[in-house]
Amino acid sequence: MTKPLDDLAGHFEAIIDGLGEDTRREGLQDTPRRAAKAMQFLTQGYQQDLNDLVNNAVFESSMDEMVVVQDIELYSMCEHHMLPFIGKCHIAYLPQGRVLGLSKFARIVDMYARRLQIQENLTRQIAEAVESVTNAKGVAVVIEAQHMCMMMRGVEKQNSRMKTSMMLGQFRKSQATRTEFLNLIGGNR
């Protein structure tokens, strides 16, 4: 359950105060409320339900070859520092009798990305969600992302990227299937 906006705004006011800033100065007067709204948006995935989101957009189809949806932008928040990590998600599946509406892959990515996350768990959750709504023979998810907690602070590495993959079903069993997927999304990833 989300807390009322006023509660969250109150906590942001305390943070601003804790930083030694003057919460009453003009530029900051509306900031606690704005920041609370922004944070609610960035974590709205907690309020969403997979079945509602897919909204029956699962269609019968005799297509049984690999389907790939590539370069889905991803904005998430690391659960350790509550700083963004930003990247791309690639999803593939092997349908057996039904296919999923194209936009729903992006909706599934957003639903899990808009929570406090680590990239590994996010990758697994997306793969398992696609598997459960499509009943596919296999699902593969690759995420490549840059973490602000690595860039703006801490080790301050500007060019490192984290890549994670989750292979289910046929993608896990068959090297050939995995290789086909990795070739389709671009060999140098």
Binding site residues, Zn ion, CB under 5 A: 78, 80-81, 149
Residues 169, 135: Cα–Cα separation, whole Å: 10
Catalytic: which of 89, 90, 117, 119?
119
User: Pattern of binders to ligand GTP over 100-139, x per CB under 6 A?
Assistant: ------------------xxx-------------------
Q: Note if 78 is an active site residue.
A: yes
Q: Note if 149 is an active site residue.
A: yes
In the bound state with ligand GTP, the residue whose beta carbon lies nearer, of 67 and 78, is 78
Q: What HEC string does 127-162 produce?
A: HHHHHHHHCCCEEEEEEEEEEHHHHCCCCCCCCCCE
Find which of Zn ion, ligand GTP, none residue 176 binds, CB within 5 to 8 Å per kind: none
What is the pairing mode between strands 67-78 and 116-117? parallel
Q: Which of 143, 132, 114 has the alpha carbon at shortest distance from 168?
A: 132
Give residues 46-105 in contact with ligand GTP (rule: CB under 6 A): 78, 80
Q: Note if 11 is an active site residue.
A: no
Residue 19: which residues within 8 A CB-CB, separation 6 or more? none
Residue 90 CB, nearest approach to ligand GTP (Å): 17
Find which of ligand GTP, Zn ion, none residue 118 binds, CB within 5 to 8 Å per kind: ligand GTP
- Hey, how many other C-beta atoms are within 10 angstroms of the C-beta on 180? 16
Q: Which of 128, 75, 140, 133 has the alpha carbon at shortest distance from 101?
A: 133
Q: Note if 90 is an active site residue.
A: no
Burial group, residue 44, by CB count within 10 angstroms (0-12, 13-18, 19+) = middle
Residue 137 CB, nearest approach to ligand GTP (Å): 29
**Active-site amino acid positions:** 78-81, 119, 147, 149
Q: Could you list the residues that contact ligand GTP (CB under 6 A)?
A: 78, 80, 118-120, 147, 149-150, 154-155
